[in-house]
Amino acid sequence: MTADHELTVDFAACDGHGLCAELLPERIGLDEWGYPVVRDPVVPGPLLAHARRAVAACPVLALRLRPADRGDREQLASDRTPSGRSAG
């Protein structure tokens, strides 16, 4: 089983080309100005190849993918609680 990865955007570098949303619509949408909105930063194993392709295609290298360690996954899960408060 492949470990989860975390997807992030460097908004200072992003020019809003939108390729990431085209290549990884399962995780990335676009706002009204064409900038990426990461709906879920956790990229599970089955989407990893698609996420890597999106990262490689970013013309300004603003999209990043890194392995998420267990603590990161737990924090990401608690950040998505309905109340918006940390579970811990």
- Evaluate if residue 84 carries a pLDDT over 50: no
Confidence of residue 86 (pLDDT cuts 50, 70, 90): very low
pTM above the 0.75 mark?
A: no
With 70 as the cut, is the pLDDT of residue 83 above it?
Answer: no
Comparing CA positions, the residue from 38, 50, 44 lying closest to residue 68 is 44
Is the pLDDT score of 87 beyond 80?
no
37 vs 24: CA distance, rounded Å: 11
**25-79: pLDDT as tens digits:** 999 999 999 999 999 999 999 999 999 999 999 999 999 999 987 664 555 555 5
